Amino acid sequence: MRLLLRTRLANPSYSVLTCRRHAFTTCSALARISSPSHVNTFARSKSKQYGDPRSHRSGENTVPSIQKVREKQDANKTYNVFRNLVLGKYDLIMSSSQSWAARKDEYKGFGVNSKLDLEREVKLFRKSIERACDLASETHAVSKSENPLFWTLRNAFVENDATGLATELVYGFQNFLMRSKFPKNIAATHQKIADFRFPYEWFPATRAMQRTIHLHVGPTNSGKTYNALKALEIAKSGIYAGPLRLLAHEVYTRFLAKGKKCALITGEEQRIPENEDNYFRSCTVEMTPLNLPVDVAVIDEIQMIGDNERGWAWTQAFLGVQAKEVHLCGEERTVELIQSLCATIGDECIVTRYNRLSPLETMKESLHSSYENLEKGDAVITFSRVGIHAIKKQIEAQTGRRCAIVYGSLPPETRAQQAALFNDPDNDYDFLVASDAIGMGLNLEIKRIIFEQTHKRTKSGYRVMSPPELKQIGGRAGRFRTARQAAQAGPEGDSKGGQTTPAPKTGPPGLVTALEDGDLSIIQQAFTRDSEPIRSAGIQPPPSVMERFSTYFPPNTPFSYILSRLRDIARTSSRFHLCHLKEMLSIADLIQPYPMSVYDRCVFLNAPVSLREKSAGQVVQAFAKCVSNMDGGNLLDIPEVNLELLDIDQELFRTDPAEYLRQLEALHKTITLYLWLSYRYSGVFTSQNLAFHVKEQVETRIDAHLGKVSTSMAKRRARMEAIRRKASAEKHNMEEILGEDASVDGPRHELTGDWNEEGHEEPIFEDSEELGSITRLEPNAAKTGSGRKAHARANQ
């Protein structure tokens, strides 16, 4: 916690100001402050909850049942538990790290000029927290509009446990100190700029067009993306936008094979045809060109529009792409939202529904923890590269047969080769171990999907995978008729006016099960549940809005504070929601000391940065310094880039091979960030070719090292069981504190993988405990030695 509190500057939550005003009106009534108007307000609220006695006398049955009264009492008890937790955490933070002597310079920047002033503000903010919790307990007002402070604290706790709660309390207190710093006219201007109810107006050139939206919806393995791509192929110009780098590369390769000029555009790699003006573009959705008129655009996995972190990119692409025809591919639960948005912006919407090309069933039994029960055509799903290589070894040792591997960060050529080996029925590659990336559309002829685990890593622990996640991945089962094979005939009809493709003839079903008995029931329950419709699309203010908003603050105002204020006063309609700031506040604080424009700061906020690694903050600051100075971006001149790791003999890590993997992953993320920035500041980060060379070397070493380490499967299974128990305990504890209402308002993150980064790549490891199953480096491990000096030669 100390580290958390040290690594932030002034990035408060403006919701406290709103709640403070609310606390002295409605909450004061709930606290029974003796004022006639307050008493009447309280009486009216009671009348609404329990029924008006006069109505009851007239024969209207408005008195609640005993069950509702008990539910009300349980809610009071539950939020009292949360109240005590919040106040205890707040008192701890204020007593341990917010002392006047240690932080007086910082507090003076917020207008607090003495220790006495600080103590008074601490007490006042504590009372605001108390009132917000009382309001939730007494009236069950927990929404953002009714009780913003409680909503903010509750969501922070649900999403990131006590760590998230502590962070939000720090931000909230700092914002509380700023509650009187803005004149009414400035505050009104802030509100006007933060009016995001009509984000489609951000794209005036697109609104001037009359577009036709083709919405292709259906389950996995139904051929919807295949048919959308056929429309793209026959167009004169067009764009494909997908969630994964591997999918963008697959479409890019497909178009080149058909003799069509095509560019590959992702955050970290761009391949543009030379001496060509007219060509197709295959890109990750964040890179969708919005100022380019084209005939056809295909936006894949449109259900991601509701995602809390990356949803803004799908919304931006859908609302902003200048295409005569826009083909959206995804799940049925997007139909209502897309139709509503099309009606608002005046675009025609044509829905085509697809049926699965083969049946899908969950099995009645798991594999009972034994890979000896695998059958030809089976695919085992896990979520890290350590896991993929460990399971591959175990399968080949237990069965004596070969096993292919497929995951997003494999080089495209290797990935295609491994997929071809698995799909070929005439060789001995009977099994596949894959990451969750296969859930996003890789063409693999899989008979059964077997989940090694059904829990995913979160910021604070593990959670059970959601039904949409399990269905998305499990739906890839059905080897005997893949989407590529069966969709060649195309959908029935002309796709007009809500056509539905007919159900196929019954064939061998795709099957879904688990490795362990404890996970099978979770899978079975998920496949019997219908996913709820996606009701709102994610948005993120464009840099132009941030630039305008920031002009109403003093020059040295921390950018994290500007971000958090914009977040908390923003207005959205029911069809849109603001995406989470992720690690933006922390990144904003890291780059705060370096002078740069608002636009440049916004670039860093959207960069592929993960602060989980200890060295990540130093790397971000080093790159920010280069941008600030507009110089010094030669890769060999940045000491924070640990190129020396490639000079180290991995034999030195024989007793601790897991540490070698940690350092390789950190270097890989550093180089990925460098490449990402090199496409935005080509005059600063000039070593792009060298960076690609280093990236290739790092990936080669990662895969080679993973192939040489020995893993204890007994330790791995013990870890899985511990994760199940821990996730169950965390869920129970959350419900004890927040009741059954322990959920975040708005759309939840319900899709596969760690999708908070553009393109998505699997982590090398999920947590340090997973690395604990690595026991040793196997004999005859290859030596390495081509670090900074060798790369300097390569750069010459």
Measure the CA–CA gap between 407 and 597, rounded to whole angstroms. Answer: 38
Asked if 203 and 324 sit in the same domain, the reply is: yes
Whether residue 540 is contained in a domain is answered as no
Residue 715 corresponds to which amino acid?
Answer: K
> What are the tokens at 755?
């999708």
Which of the listed residues 473, 497, 528 is the one where a domain comes to its end?
Answer: 528
Task: Tell me which of 300-314, 393-407, 535-549, 718-732 is least confident.
Answer: 718-732
**Last residue of a domain, which of 485, 504, 528?**
528
- Mean pLDDT within 56-84: 57
Q: Give the closest residue to 449 by CA, choosing from 465, 466, 463, 435.
A: 435
Q: Are residues 120 and 253 in the same domain?
A: no
* pLDDT over 80 (residue 6): no
Residue 368 backbone class (left: φ over 0; alpha: ψ -120 to 50; beta: rest): left
Q: Which two tokens stand for residue 411?
A: 């080089």
Same domain as 275, residue 402: no
* CA 188 centroid distance within chain: 33
Q: What is the DSSP letter of 64?
A: P
The CATH number of whichever domain residue 498 belongs to comes to: 3.40.50.300
Indicate whether 341 and 372 sit together in one domain: no
Q: Of how many residues is the chain composed?
A: 796
DSSP, residue by residue, 495-521: --SSEEPPPPPP-SPEEEEESSHHHHH
> Domain for residue 423, yes or no?
yes
**pLDDT band of 498, cuts 50, 70, 90:** low
- The reply to whether 333 and 208 lie within a common domain is yes
The domain total for the chain is: 4
395 φ/ψ angles, rounded to the nearest 5 degrees: -65, -45
Identify which has the larger pLDDT, 366 or 106: 366
Lowest mean pLDDT among 418-427, 484-493, 527-536: 484-493
| pLDDT tens-digit map of 425-473 | 888 899 999 988 887 767 788 999 999 989 887 766 778 888 888 998 9
Residues 43 and 158 in one domain: yes
Same domain, 344 and 487: no
Q: What is the distance between the alpha carbons of residues 318 and 658, in angstroms, rounded to a whole number? A: 43
Q: Is residue 377 part of a domain?
A: yes
Contact 238, 297 (CB under 8 A): yes
Residue 108: predicted pLDDT: 78
Position 604 in a domain: no
Which pTM does this prediction carry?
0.80
pLDDT of 374: 95
Crossing angle of the two packed helices 616-629 and 657-678, in degrees rounded to 10: 20
**Predicted confidence (pLDDT) at residue 111 exceeds the cutoff of 50:** yes
- Whether residue 223 is found in the same domain as residue 341: yes
Residue 495 lies in a domain: yes
**What amino acid occupies position 399?**
T
CA angle in degrees (0–180, nearest 5) for 656-659-661: 115
Domain termination site, one of 353, 370, 386: 353
User: From start to end of 655-755, where are the E strands?
Assistant: 709-711
DSSP for 305-345 reads GG-TTTHHHHHHHHHH--EEEEEEEE-GGGHHHHHHHHHHH
Domain housing 31: 2-181
| DSSP-assigned letters across all residues of 476-494 | TB-TTS-HHHHGGG--SS-
Sequence-distant (6+) residues with CB within 8 A of 720 are 452, 453, 516
Taking Cα atoms as reference points, which of 118, 124, 140 lies closest to residue 46? 140
Same domain, 372 and 474: yes
Q: Are residues 307 and 371 in the same domain?
A: no
Does 555 map to a domain? no
Q: Is 177 left (phi over 0), alpha (psi -120 to 50) or beta?
A: alpha
Element (H, E) at 550: helix 543-550
Average pLDDT over residues 355-370: 91
In angstroms, the Cα distances linking 697 to 155, 306, 791 are 42, 37, 10
| Strand pairing class (429-434; 378-381) | parallel
Q: For residue 46, give every residue at least 6 positions away whose Cβ sits within 8 Å of its Cβ, in sequence order, or none.
A: none
**Do 508 and 461 sit in the same domain of this protein?**
yes
Q: Is residue 590 part of a domain?
A: no
What percent helix, strand, coil does the chain show, rounded to 5? 50, 10, 35
The answer to whether the beta carbons of residues 288 and 282 sit under 8 Å apart is no
What are the start-end ranges of the H helices in 97-145?
100-108, 115-139
> 156 with 203, same domain?
no
The 10s digit of each residue's pLDDT in 732-780 is 666 666 655 555 444 443 333 344 445 456 677 666 666 666 655 555 5
In a domain? residue 564: no
